[in-house]
Amino acid sequence: MNSESRSNRYARQIQFAPIGADGHERIAKSRVAILGCGALGTVAADIMSRAGVGHLRLIDRDVVEWSNLQRQSLYVEQDAIDGRSKADAACERLSAINSEIKVEPIVADVTSSNIRGILKDSDLVIDAADNFLIRFLLNDWALSTATPWVHGGCVGAVGQVRLFRSDGAPCFRCLVPEPPPAAAVDTCDTAGVVGSATHVIASLQATEALKWLSGNRQAVRETMLSVDLWSNRIRELKISLSSQSCPACGKLDFEFLDGARAVHAESAAVLCGRDAVQISNPSPADVDLAQMAKRWNGLGRIQSTRFFVRLFLDNKHLTLFRDGRVVVTGTDQISEARTLCDRFIGG
């Protein structure tokens, strides 16, 4: 390849008037963190690397599995065979796509004690997380550092997108004041997910990010966009709540960031001598066990009692108690237990 053809790499992006040479220059100087390297994260990372974002940091605690290949576009079969770390495999592929940018893999479970270090110096964060609670932590961190982030979520064929500016405009908690109780929301493992839908949502996230990074902030969508690709419904949700009443952006009470309310592994403990991990619910609630059993239908053998509902997987089982506590049996790895919880219980 000669240098002339290399210099043409961004020609079509620069040709697009709202971006232009100035916008591209800004994109090239940007540092973006992508939280999660699953269906949304891989597609967003692919777009951002090709657009020439100067520094991409990819964060994920999981390894590539066969069930990821249906939609997680940076991975190939060998990654699943080798059980590679997602962040590592994704970064290697991004380097092959664009050798001019810097990519940085971080294999970690994001918690209130490490989020500041993990997201340090990011100009923008793309939320491609597979669990709901982490967004409350990300929202706190983003407000405390005035960093914009692009929320995205997708289950089944339904997804939603919005950029939160963290500059006085409504925040994520203005829209969702409290985390939903366990078993109240579907996950990709309980309801399935269509690969084309996650590509659409990730593309919308990347577009909002490129608008912001290229200096086209007036073009950023001010509403939460919700798209149902299967039943052809598109909705725009305006967030009109007064920010004064919001615990995060109104009262500046960053309870998830300061650890007063736990997310993730902080609330998990290995149960001695039992080959099991217990994950406590940070906001104990009366969980609807019958509803959870219904969502698990078809995924494996289910045992229901008055006190808990249990799902048997290959060599592990998950027991969800009425207070939201979960015991994952068959592992002593907190991160693996947490992943199974996020996948099969959500919340």
DSSP 156: B
Task: Take residue 103 and report the two structure tokens written for it.
Answer: 């990519």
The verdict on 175 binding Zn ion (CB under 5 A) reads: no
The least distance separating Zn ion from the CB of residue 146, rounded to whole angstroms, comes to: 14
Q: Which of 35, 37, 155, 174 binds Zn ion (CB under 5 A)?
A: 174
The least distance separating Zn ion from the CB of residue 180, rounded to whole angstroms, comes to: 17
Name the residue nearer to Zn ion (CB basis): 75 or 164: 164
Name the residue nearer to Zn ion (CB basis): 175 or 345: 175
The verdict on 257 binding Zn ion (CB under 5 A) reads: no
The verdict on 162 binding Zn ion (CB under 5 A) reads: no
Beta-carbon neighbour count of residue 334 at 10 Å? 21
Tell me the C-alpha distance between 136 and 262, whole Å.
10
If you count them, how many residues does the chain have? 347
The least distance separating Zn ion from the CB of residue 147, rounded to whole angstroms, comes to: 15
Number of residues that bind Zn ion (CB under 5 A): 6
- In the chain, beta strands by DSSP E: 31-35, 55-59, 102-106, 124-127, 149-155, 158-164, 224-228, 233-237, 268-271, 276-279, 301-304, 308-312, 317-321, 326-329
Name the residue nearer to Zn ion (CB basis): 171 or 311: 171
The stretch among 77-85, 114-122, 242-250, 253-261 that binds Zn ion (CB under 5 A) is 242-250
Block residue for tokens 């059993």: 293
The verdict on 171 binding Zn ion (CB under 5 A) reads: yes
Name the residue nearer to Zn ion (CB basis): 174 or 341: 174
Among 242, 262, 121, 258, which Cα is nearest to 173's?
A: 242
The stretch among 225-233, 246-254, 258-266, 317-325 that binds Zn ion (CB under 5 A) is 246-254
The verdict on 138 binding Zn ion (CB under 5 A) reads: no
The least distance separating Zn ion from the CB of residue 222, rounded to whole angstroms, comes to: 15
Residue closest to Zn ion when measured from CB atoms: 246
The least distance separating Zn ion from the CB of residue 170, rounded to whole angstroms, comes to: 6
DSSP 117: H
The verdict on 173 binding Zn ion (CB under 5 A) reads: yes
The stretch among 58-66, 150-158, 172-180, 307-315 that binds Zn ion (CB under 5 A) is 172-180
DSSP 193: B
- In 194-298, beta strands by DSSP E: 224-228, 233-237, 268-271, 276-279
Tell me the C-alpha distance between 94 and 127, whole Å.
18
- Enumerate binding residues for Zn ion (CB under 5 A): 171, 173-174, 246, 248-249
